[in-house]
A and B are shown apart, each in its own frame.
Chain A
Amino acid sequence: MRKLFVYLTLAVGFLSPLFAQENSSQAESFYRAGQYAQALAAYEQDLKLYPNNPYLYYNIGNCYFKMGSKGLAIANYYRAFKLNPRHADIRHNLELALSSGGDTLVPTGIPPAVHRAFFSLSLAQLKGIVCLVGWLVCLLTGIWLLTRKGGKLTLAAGIVFVACASWYYMLHTWEKQPLAVIAAPAAELRSGPGTNFPASASISQGHLVQVLDSKDQWQQVVVRSEGLKGWVESSALEHI
């Protein structure tokens, strides 16, 4: 019985990528045929197996974009961008989707080259580099302690480590900021958390907002492109 269980576990482990592969090719067929809802369902099925796959988020974003749900498309492109910021297609589609709502990926005042350099590594990759440099610093420090040689190299490695750690901290802070996107066709920005407060603005689908606070079914947000601040119903938002 135990053996059977082990064999079954191994079989599932080996076969699940094959099923996923088949699912993805089926999704692509749907997408090519313009059946975006079916393609979306297939990709979302895959996402349950690979929750951190940037390509799945990218493809899901494409499906939403084609179905006209710009807000949900942006949310998924953003998730893909966080996982793989260097990929040109992901960056292109995210910039295109954001530009249709008046938003930009690169904040005003920051040179695009700096932005690209900052996002040349994902948080997970940067964490790997911090680990690698950290190990190197430890190794060199040990050698220096024993032999009193290679002091300058150890110091240089230490400086690189501090720089990478700072970069990691900044990227981590950026990733953890509570961002959301307007997913409903339009959302009303109110002065308080309730319909009894007057609406000050109507925000169309696809605008990026920063979430500041939440009360019951309402969230306090700042619209990044306009600098407006107010309360929006939670159902109109898609958190990134």
Chain B
Amino acid sequence: MKKFLLLLCCLCVSVAVQAQVLLKASTDKTDLALDDDLTLTVQVSGVSGTMVMPQLPSLPAFNIYAREAEQSTVNGRTTLLFRYVMVPRFVGSTSIGPIKFNYQGKTYQTEPIAIRIYKTAVPPTAQKQTTPAATNTAAKATDTDVNQLPPLEQELATRAYAHPNQIYFLTAATSQKKPYVNEPFTLAVRFYYAGAFYDAFYKNPEVSNLLLEEAGETQGQQTLHGRVYQYTEKRYRVSGVAPGQATIGPATVTYRVGSVNGSLLDRFFGGAAVSKEESVSSLPFKLTITSLPQEGKPESFYGAVGGAYTLSAKLDRDHAEAGEAVTLSVTVQGTGNLKTTSDLVFPEIPGFTAYPAAPQTGNVAGSTTRNYKVFQTVLVPTVSGSYTIASIPWSYFDPQTARYKTLNTRPLSLEVSPSSHTANALDFGAAGHTGSGIQTMGHDIRYILTVPTEHTSWLARLPQWKWMHALVLGWLALCLFIASIGRRTAQRKHAYTQAKAQLKKAHSYEDISDALATYLLQKWNISTASLPLKSIVQALARHNVPAAQCEEFSTLWKDLESARFSPAQSDPNALAQFSQRAQNLLKNWENLK
């Protein structure tokens, strides 16, 4: 029972803790210049369910440019984070009043935050005597307030005076007239209106020799010539690309306004009002982009122009084994345009093999003016020991002072132990100046070799002797040719002997025919198998065989065929006679010249 009560108590306490709602508000600074921005962060924790927005107080001294909201839930407790990026409008002391948050019927609120706004970024103590309250000034903004506005707003307001009696008009102005190359400045385009409209569409101005990036939108109110105008302002972050002239073309806003000039038919079907499209444009203007001074330009300058830069470096670990990858990150943050700057060149770090990675850029969370760039390189230590990675310099040009300034990272320490992954505990490399130097080495690679200028063996050069291939193949062809001729001559020479021997051994008429045919083939290359008798005789005549002998051959051949294919006429003594006749014929042919 006691245990149950204890458990119940614990449960109640945890529910009570979970139900506790905390509301906190903070700013990233309490003193700022007119051209600076302020980030207000409101944190609500201990809530659940649908996200509820906090109620901001009236902030006449600021224009809110960006809003962000984040929600995270840990162990059932939800934390809501709201960020507001604000740009001051007036010089003086002001405060951000209590921020209210309603949750489950209860209202929570924060303490007011006092803010001081200065005309420039000079120390606040120098400005204290001449700072009227910003809240009062904002509340009473009239035609005479222009001089107290920040320079950019002052110019916009002054330009607005050039449009008397217009209900809709557009003005544009920049915070710099002669910016340096890559120096960030602001282009503001303000759409004034003193009448109703809808479906407004902004067309960004065309620019040359400039980079343009949208930086937020705000609304406000201004009294001109005694008439109250509302305005919508779009801001752009701009930077010059190259020295010389740059142009900003006209920005345009297209909108629709209501009209009662519709026809009777329109009124009958579509209602009483018919809208029409109108547009207003700002005037184009030119800027001069100033080149950066060459004098005093440090080697570690990569093109960054601006102010309030910070530089930091870190390793992803402080201990590694030889051969393991360690990531070194160098982060630059500031108000300049870092996207267009060159990549940081990491100095060669003795004892490490470096593999640089592509840098990453982005805007600092909750800020429209500050951005960052992270340079990374993967370092692979080759030898164990204690290392100190020296400071890495990074320079920028400060347009306020027109001088180059150099930032340095703090030195970083890294302990490298011998590799445990390689066979025989190998520790690659043994450069004397890099590590502690003494290693227990199981094996090492063998020393370099003296390079001979002539290294190709005679065997490897043999295939290059193309003439040798031709020579040998020629030899083979010649031998084949000679051998072929020799065979033909030998055949001719031995034709009679061979035929005579065949005739002596003949047992049939067929044997005698074969002996004659073989002789003709070998002696004169006359094929009896493929030729008729008449052609054979003609071939013999071409070999200068006398007509009488040709006739004799013809008679003998016919008789032999008759004897072979007509057995009735065959005579046993006739075989010897035929053989003798054939022998006589061949003997006569042999005696021919």
B154 at the interface (CB under 8 A from A): no
Min C-beta distance of A188 to chain B, whole Å: 13
Segment of A5-13, A132-140, A213-221, A223-231 in the binding face: A132-140
- Which A residues, 76 to 118, have Cβ-Cβ distances below 8 Å to chain B? 84, 89, 92-93, 96-97, 99-100
B532 at the interface (CB under 8 A from A): no
Contact with B along A59-83 (1 / 0, CB 8 A): 1001001111110000000000000
Segment of A20-28, A155-163, A169-177, A192-200 in the binding face: A20-28
- Determine if B448 and A62 form an interchain contact, defined as CB atoms under 8 angstroms apart: yes
Given contacts A62-B445, A131-B469, A146-B482, contact A125 B460 (CB under 8 A): yes
- Determine if B476 and A69 form an interchain contact, defined as CB atoms under 8 angstroms apart: no
- Determine if B479 and A142 form an interchain contact, defined as CB atoms under 8 angstroms apart: yes
Residues of A within 8 A of B445 (CB): 62, 65-66, 92-93, 96-97
- Determine if B432 and A34 form an interchain contact, defined as CB atoms under 8 angstroms apart: yes
Given contacts A66-B429, A131-B463, contact A142 B455 (CB under 8 A): no
- Determine if B429 and A50 form an interchain contact, defined as CB atoms under 8 angstroms apart: no
Given contacts A122-B460, A124-B456, contact A145 B428 (CB under 8 A): no
Min C-beta distance of B237 to chain A, whole Å: 31
- Determine if A58 and B449 form an interchain contact, defined as CB atoms under 8 angstroms apart: yes
Q: Please, how many angstroms separate the alpha-carbon atoms of A65 and B463 in the complex?
A: 35
- Determine if B475 and A69 form an interchain contact, defined as CB atoms under 8 angstroms apart: no
Which of A24, A46, A132, A145 interacts with B480 by CB under 8 Å? A145
Which of B323, B431, B458, B478 interacts with A142 by CB under 8 Å? B478
- Determine if A146 and B446 form an interchain contact, defined as CB atoms under 8 angstroms apart: no
Contact with A along B339-354 (1 / 0, CB 8 A): 0000000000000110
Which of B429, B453, B461, B482 interacts with A20 by CB under 8 Å? B453
Contact with A along B189-213 (1 / 0, CB 8 A): 0000000000000000000000000
Residue of A nearest to B419 (CB): A100
- Determine if A50 and B428 form an interchain contact, defined as CB atoms under 8 angstroms apart: no
Q: Please, how many angstroms separate the alpha-carbon atoms of A138 and B480 in the complex?
A: 11
B473 at the interface (CB under 8 A from A): yes
Q: Please, how many angstroms separate the alpha-carbon atoms of A135 and B463 in the complex?
A: 11
Min C-beta distance of A103 to chain B, whole Å: 11
Q: How many residues of B contact A (CB 8 A)?
A: 51
Residue of B nearest to A122 (CB): B460
Residue of B nearest to A124 (CB): B460
Which of B325, B421, B451, B472 interacts with A185 by CB under 8 Å? B325
Residues of B within 8 A of A66 (CB): 382, 428-431, 445
B14 at the interface (CB under 8 A from A): no
Given contacts A36-B431, A128-B463, contact A55 B452 (CB under 8 A): yes
A201 at the interface (CB under 8 A from B): no
Contact with B along A184-210 (1 / 0, CB 8 A): 111000000000000000001100000
Residues of A within 8 A of B450 (CB): 24, 28, 55
Given contacts A139-B475, A142-B475, contact A65 B428 (CB under 8 A): yes
Q: How many residues of A contact B (CB 8 A)?
A: 56
Residue of B nearest to A101 (CB): B422
Q: Please, how many angstroms separate the alpha-carbon atoms of A27 and B449 in the complex?
A: 11
Q: Please, how many angstroms separate the alpha-carbon atoms of A77 and B187 in the complex?
A: 60
B565 at the interface (CB under 8 A from A): no
Residue from B447, B460, B482 whose CB has the most chain A CB atoms within 10 Å: B460
- Determine if A129 and B446 form an interchain contact, defined as CB atoms under 8 angstroms apart: no
Which of A55, A121, A125, A138 interacts with B476 by CB under 8 Å? A138
- Determine if A92 and B446 form an interchain contact, defined as CB atoms under 8 angstroms apart: yes
B263 at the interface (CB under 8 A from A): no
- Determine if A138 and B475 form an interchain contact, defined as CB atoms under 8 angstroms apart: yes
- Determine if B461 and A128 form an interchain contact, defined as CB atoms under 8 angstroms apart: yes
Residues of B within 8 A of A52 (CB): 456
B378 at the interface (CB under 8 A from A): yes
- Which A residues, 16 to 45, have Cβ-Cβ distances below 8 Å to chain B? 17, 20-21, 24, 27-28, 31, 34, 36
B265 at the interface (CB under 8 A from A): no
B548 at the interface (CB under 8 A from A): no
Min C-beta distance of A165 to chain B, whole Å: 13
Q: Please, how many angstroms separate the alpha-carbon atoms of A38 and B530 in the complex?
A: 84
Residues of A within 8 A of B480 (CB): 142, 145
Min C-beta distance of A79 to chain B, whole Å: 14
Q: Please, how many angstroms separate the alpha-carbon atoms of A97 and B382 in the complex?
A: 14
Contact with A along B318-357 (1 / 0, CB 8 A): 0000010100000000000000000000000000110100
- Determine if B443 and A31 form an interchain contact, defined as CB atoms under 8 angstroms apart: no
Residue of B nearest to A92 (CB): B446
Residues of A within 8 A of B476 (CB): 138, 141-142
Contact with A along B471-502 (1 / 0, CB 8 A): 01101101110110000000000000000000
Residue of B nearest to A80 (CB): B449
- Determine if B423 and A99 form an interchain contact, defined as CB atoms under 8 angstroms apart: yes
Q: Please, how many angstroms separate the alpha-carbon atoms of A135 and B468 in the complex?
A: 8
Residue of B nearest to A88 (CB): B446
Which of B325, B457, B479 interacts with A186 by CB under 8 Å? B325
Q: Please, how many angstroms separate the alpha-carbon atoms of A56 and B451 in the complex?
A: 7
Residues of A within 8 A of B378 (CB): 185
Residue of A nearest to B462 (CB): A128
Residues of A within 8 A of B461 (CB): 128
Residue of A nearest to B480 (CB): A145
B139 at the interface (CB under 8 A from A): no
Which of A24, A70, A121, A125 interacts with B451 by CB under 8 Å? A24
Residue of B nearest to A185 (CB): B325
- Determine if A68 and B475 form an interchain contact, defined as CB atoms under 8 angstroms apart: no
Q: Please, how many angstroms separate the alpha-carbon atoms of A30 and B255 in the complex?
A: 74
A239 at the interface (CB under 8 A from B): no
Q: Please, how many angstroms separate the alpha-carbon atoms of A121 and B462 in the complex?
A: 14
B542 at the interface (CB under 8 A from A): no
Q: Please, how many angstroms separate the alpha-carbon atoms of A139 and B468 in the complex?
A: 12
Given contacts A62-B445, A142-B475, contact A68 B428 (CB under 8 A): yes
B512 at the interface (CB under 8 A from A): no
B380 at the interface (CB under 8 A from A): yes
B459 at the interface (CB under 8 A from A): yes
Which of A50, A127, A131 interacts with B455 by CB under 8 Å? A50
Q: Please, how many angstroms separate the alpha-carbon atoms of A235 and B451 in the complex?
A: 30
Q: Please, how many angstroms separate the alpha-carbon atoms of A135 and B455 in the complex?
A: 25
Q: Please, how many angstroms separate the alpha-carbon atoms of A84 and B479 in the complex?
A: 39
Min C-beta distance of A235 to chain B, whole Å: 10
Residues of B within 8 A of A121 (CB): 459
B433 at the interface (CB under 8 A from A): yes
Residue of B nearest to A68 (CB): B382
Min C-beta distance of B119 to chain A, whole Å: 51
B96 at the interface (CB under 8 A from A): no
Known: A92-B446, A138-B472, A204-B421. 20 other contacts (CB 8 A): A24-B450, A62-B447, A62-B448, A65-B429, A66-B429, A68-B323, A68-B352, A89-B449, A96-B443, A121-B459, A127-B462, A128-B457, A129-B462, A131-B463, A139-B472, A141-B476, A141-B479, A142-B479, A145-B480, A146-B482
- The 9 A-B pairs at the shortest CB distance, nearest first, are namely A142-B479, A68-B382, A128-B459, A124-B460, A128-B462, A145-B483, A34-B431, A17-B453, A100-B422
Sampled A-B contacts (20; CB under 8 Å): A34-B430, A59-B448, A62-B445, A62-B448, A65-B428, A66-B382, A66-B428, A66-B445, A67-B353, A93-B446, A96-B443, A100-B422, A100-B423, A127-B460, A132-B459, A135-B468, A142-B475, A142-B478, A145-B480, A205-B323
Chain B interfacial positions (CB closer than 8 Å to A): 323, 325, 352-353, 355, 378, 380-382, 421-423, 426, 428-433, 443-453, 455-463, 465, 468-469, 472-473, 475-476, 478-480, 482-483
